[in-house]
């Protein structure tokens, strides 16, 4: 038995309330269960009950065992003095407020339908990555869609919060922020960390000053990325190295990462960090003031065209310095472009919309996701095996959030699907 299950039972009143009494035999009537409290203090606030003929308004506290009231030192905390009812699974001990008055207790053991307990136990003990694996086909599709939509909103809000942390660290500089976030996502997970370190070590204002010279942009990025520290015979490498030394002196720069931090192992040459840096350089060269451009671009097709860049000629012919490719190295592919829009543009739009209190930007982010193809990854394949198929990136983002933040930690009681399966009268999972 977990306390979260008691919260669920209390919130939806899934217990026998016929001739309800407190543990000491006093008749109990529940008028309002209260509002669940997500902050410090009692679990439910603004509840209303009647014990005997006296009505009480205040808070409800829940524990598996009544004695946990003392274990958690609530008897010392005046914040719990307004608790009007202690709801427990097992009433193993009378408990008191800080003023020594005894708290009425409701014991739920024996009052909850056994089928609900069994269904909950089977969900919690399921070995499947998605606990409701067996019961999901019986769930109403509208309910599943509703949970996917709410999970998408949660995911976008979480990503927007991370964007705002970066904005605050950059003293409200949105240009620098999107420069850093784009760089991180050009690393495509494997090299996201060194890419982000690279961008943080370099002011976007400096990049803009060299924005009309692709060679100098490449020199800045490869130099700050630790790729230009040694002497090798490649002519283009030597050119970038000379340019970087001039720019390093001019702007008082120094590399903050080493070449060894970049990962090449088990990557196809087209995904090598050298190629991604070259592609990022081309984007910065072709699209000036990138934040304004991305914020003002309304169609996914136009955004895709912005990101469908080819790297410079050298990097079409080479995949590392001084290492010529046998075949031309491709530019950014369609799936990579979609990835950048999903993980950079959409969160930026949501964050900017919240910062400006303008819902239009949030709606635009969702619309862009709806115009993109669904992602293909391990999580989406798990859902597909249960006949849950996303139709666009909005759906796939919602499913990823649902899996990572509800299924993996088994927060079934916080999920509309799980809550529906535990509702009395429903089939067991």
Over residues 327-352, mean pLDDT? 95
CB 89 within 8 A of CB 2: no
Mean pLDDT of 197-203: 96
Does pLDDT of 337 surpass 70? yes
Average pLDDT over residues 264-279: 94
Confidence tier at 186 by pLDDT (50, 70, 90): very high
Is the pLDDT assigned to residue 356 strictly greater than 70?
A: yes
SS3 62: strand
pLDDT at 255 over 90: no
Residue 366 in this model has a pLDDT that exceeds 50: yes
pLDDT band at 429 (very low <50, low <70, confident <90, very high): very low
Residue 231 scores a pLDDT above 90 = no
- For the cut 80, the answer to whether the pLDDT of residue 116 exceeds it is yes
**pLDDT score for 7:** 93
The pLDDT assigned to 1 comes to 77
Say how far apart CA 369 and CA 57 lie, in whole Å: 46
| Of 176, 218, 410, 382, the residue nearest 309 (C-alpha) | 218
Average pLDDT along the chain: 93
63-111 per-position pLDDT tens digit: 999 999 999 999 999 989 999 999 999 999 999 998 889 999 999 999 9
Q: 273-286 and 174-186 helices cross at what angle (nearest 10)? A: 150
**Pairing relationship of beta strands 54-65 and 44-51 according to DSSP bridges:** antiparallel
Mean pLDDT over 307-334 rounds to 93
Question: How would you class 37 by CB atoms within 10 Å of its CB: exposed for 0-12, middle for 13-18, buried for 19 or more?
Answer: middle
Poorest-confidence range of 57-66, 89-98, 226-235?
Answer: 226-235
- What mean pLDDT do residues 184-190 have? 94
What pLDDT does residue 204 have? 96
pLDDT at 38: 85
Structure confidence at residue 428 (pLDDT): 46
pLDDT at position 425, please? 65
pTM: 0.84
User: Left if phi > 0, otherwise alpha if psi is -120 to 50, otherwise beta: which for 188?
Assistant: left
pLDDT class of 427 with cuts at 50, 70, 90: very low
Q: What is the pLDDT of residue 424?
A: 75
Q: In angstroms, how far is CA 395 from the centroid of its own chain?
A: 14
How large a percentage of the chain has pLDDT more than 90?
84
128 touches 412 (CB < 8 A): no
Distance of CA 269 to the CA centre of its chain: 30
CA distances from 54 to 21, 30, 61, 94, 102 (A): 14, 12, 19, 21, 16
- What residue ranges do the domains of the chain occupy? 3-112, 170-332
Query: Is 56 strand, coil or helix?
Result: strand
Residue 423's pLDDT is what?
82
Q: Which residue has the tokens 């995949």?
A: 319
Q: What would the mean pLDDT of 271-295 be, rounded to a whole number?
A: 95
- Averaged pLDDT for residues 242-262: 94
- At 230 the pLDDT is 87
What's the confidence (pLDDT) of residue 232? Answer: 83
Q: Which residues contact 328 (CB under 8 A, 6 or more apart)?
A: 316, 317
Is pLDDT at 31 greater than 80 in this prediction?
yes
- Say what the pLDDT of residue 426 is: 55
Give residue 233's pLDDT.
77
- Cβ neighbours, 10 Å, residue 112: 18
């Amino acid at each position: 038995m977990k306390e979260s299950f008691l919260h669920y039972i209390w919130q939806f009143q899934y217990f026998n309330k016929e001739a309800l009494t407190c543990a000491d035999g006093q008749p109990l009537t529940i008028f309002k269960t209260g509002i669940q409290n997500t902050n410090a203090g009692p679990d439910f606030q603004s509840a209303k009950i009647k014990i005997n003929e006296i009505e009480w308004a205040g808070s409800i506290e829940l524990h598996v065992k009544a004695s946990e009231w003392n274990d958690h030192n609530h008897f010392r905390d005046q914040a719990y003095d307004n608790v009007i009812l202690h709801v427990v699974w097992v009433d193993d001990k009378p408990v008191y407020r800080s003023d020594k008055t005894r708290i009425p207790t409701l014991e739920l053991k024996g009052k909850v339908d056994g089928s609900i307990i069994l269904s909950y136990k089977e969900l919690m003990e399921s070995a499947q990555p998605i606990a409701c694996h067996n019961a999901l086909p019986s769930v109403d599709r509208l309910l599943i869609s509703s949970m996917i939509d709410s999970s998408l909103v949660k995911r976008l809000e979480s990503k927007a919060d991370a964007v705002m942390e970066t904005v605050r660290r950059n003293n409200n500089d949105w240009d620098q922020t999107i420069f850093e976030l784009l760089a991180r996502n050009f690393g495509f997970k494997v090299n996201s960390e060194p890419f982000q370190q690279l961008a943080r070590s370099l002011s976007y204002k400096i990049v803009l000053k060299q924005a009309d010279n692709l060679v100098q942009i490449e020199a800045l990025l490869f130099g700050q990325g630790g790729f230009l520290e040694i002497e090798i015979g490649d002519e283009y490498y030597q050119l970038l190295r000379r340019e970087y030394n001039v720019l390093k002196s001019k702007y008082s720069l120094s590399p903050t990462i080493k070449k060894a931090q970049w990962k090449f192992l088990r990557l196809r040459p087209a995904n090598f960090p050298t190629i991604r840096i070259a592609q990022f350089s081309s984007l910065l060269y072709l699209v000036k003031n990138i934040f304004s451009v991305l914020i003002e671009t309304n169609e996914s097709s136009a955004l895709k065209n912005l990101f469908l860049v080819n790297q410079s000629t050298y990097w079409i012919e080479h995949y590392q310095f001084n290492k010529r490719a046998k075949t031309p190295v491709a530019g950014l592919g369609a799936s990579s472009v979609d990835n950048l829009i999903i993980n950079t543009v959409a969160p930026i739009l949501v964050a900017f919309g919240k910062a400006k209190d303008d819902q239009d930007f949030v709606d635009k982010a969702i619309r862009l996701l709806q115009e993109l193809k669904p992602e293909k990854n391990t999580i989406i394949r798990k859902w597909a095996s249960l006949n849950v198929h996303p139709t666009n990136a909005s759906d796939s983002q919602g499913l990823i959030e649902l899996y990572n933040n509800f299924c993996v930690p088994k927060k079934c009681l916080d999920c509309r699907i799980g809550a529906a399966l535990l509702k009395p009268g429903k089939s067991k999972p």
